[in-house]
Every structure is written in C-alpha cells, then in structure tokens.
Amino acid sequence: MKVRYLHTMVRVKDLDKSIAFYKLLGLEETRRIVNDKARFTLVFLAAPGQPDTPVELTFNWDGDDGLPSDSRHFGHLAYEFENIYDICASLQAAGVVINRPPRDGNMAFVRSPDNVSIELLQMGPALPPQEPWASMGNTGHW
C-alpha cells in the first residue's frame, strides 16, 4: 500500500487574524481557493520550501456555530525551529500567549486564534535552559 500525507485542516473564525498568526510561525501562503457558491475560502500555508506539507485554513463565510468551542479533540500541529527561544520571544512580542514555555529548551506550546494547539520544537538537541523561560509557569492549557 502506498500512502502520501496531504495536509492538516483547521477551521478558522477570522481568516485574516489566523493567516497573520501562522505567518508569525514563518509559514507562507501557497494556495487559495475561494468558492462563492458554497461560501467558503481555503488558504494553504506551509513552511518555506515545503509546499507539500501545508496546513489548510478553512473559513466558512456563514460561520461554524455547530462546531465544538474547544479544538482539543483535534490534538495539535507541530513545527520545528532553529531556535525555540527566538520563536517564543517573537510570538510573545506579537501578543501570543506562551501556554507551555520552553523550560527544557526543547518544547513549547501556543494556541492559534481559533484555539488550535501548536507545538513548537527545537531542531536538533535541546538548548541549555534560559531565562525567562526556565522559571516560567504554564498559562492556561495546551
């Protein structure tokens, strides 16, 4: 059996706000589909040079009132970064809450504007513990 990963889809309530969040992670828009008849927009974003592994943002123009309010049943998206401290500092400066700080120099979690858990991982070995992250507690759930 041959299988190929295509993408991960998450529903979003505010397309522009969500695109801005994923761009903070370094993702770039690779494709957009606007369906006037079915009243939805799909935006695919991927890490530079990795267009075959996108996240698909699905925006239903008329809303998603019937969907669960917490996306915990989904799990999380995971991205790897050259320096976990730098990405966390950049996200925090942009107003993103670091729900699980990178105390271990290896892993952190944040939430998207639509409550999707995003795991941030250090490329290669963990970095040495560093303040303010080493002593920072969790905020909310991740």
Determine whether 56 is an active site residue: no
Task: State whether 85 and 127 are in the same domain.
Answer: yes
For 126, the token pair is 């963990």
| pLDDT at 68 > cutoff 70 | no
- Is there a contact between 28 and 50 (Cβ–Cβ < 8 Å)? no
Name the domain count of the chain.
2
Place 66 in a pLDDT band, splitting at 50, 70 and 90.
low
pLDDT at position 37: 94
Q: Which CATH number does the domain housing residue 12 bear? A: 3.10.180.10
Question: Are 57 and 98 members of one domain?
Answer: no
> Do 79 and 58 reside in the same domain of the chain?
no
Annotated catalytic residue within 28, 56, 119, 131: 119
Mean pLDDT of the 69-84 span: 78
Q: Do the strands 40-46 and 55-60 form a parallel or antiparallel pair, or are they unpaired?
A: antiparallel
Residue 15 domain boundaries: 1-62
**In a domain? residue 18:** yes
Where does the pLDDT of residue 3 fall: very low under 50, low under 70, confident under 90, or very high at 90 and above?
A: low
- Considering the domain architecture, whether residues 85 and 115 belong to the same structural domain is answered as yes
- Write the CA distances from 76 to 8, 39, 115, 132, integer angstroms: 10, 27, 10, 25
